[in-house]
Amino acid sequence: MTLYTCKCCKESKEVSKAKIIYVDNSWVADIICSCGKYMDSKPEEGMPSLRRTESTLTNRNKLWDGAKEKLCGERGINESFN
């Protein structure tokens, strides 16, 4: 749930769903305070932080190094051919 606060009344509400609408040349959430103004929230509140911890992601660099060595050989692309 996201915490929305009003700047004039210092009223706050916790809301789970909100629509973003374009009003008076700015984007605001459709959460309205009792005073009639739109409420605002901080972007990081209510936003999940996801991390992918799959074992296949750590093996990706090893796979690339192996494929690069097979394609380019042991000497690499930028080394001169003697």
Whether 80 is covered by a domain: the verdict is no
User: Is residue 19 a contact partner of residue 30, using CB atoms and an 8 Å limit?
Assistant: yes
Does residue 5 or residue 59 have the better pLDDT? 5
What is the residue range of 9's domain? Answer: 2-42+52-72
Look at residue 67 and give its three-state secondary structure: helix
pLDDT > 80? residue 70: no
Task: State the total domains in the chain.
Answer: 1
Q: Give strand pairing partners of 28.
A: 21
Q: What is the pTM of this model?
A: 0.47
Look at residue 38 and give its three-state secondary structure: strand
pLDDT of residue 75: 59
Other C-beta atoms lying within 10 Å of the C-beta of residue 13: 17
Other C-beta atoms lying within 10 Å of the C-beta of residue 58: 9
Whether 79 is covered by a domain: the verdict is no
CA atoms within 13 A on the CB side of 70: 6
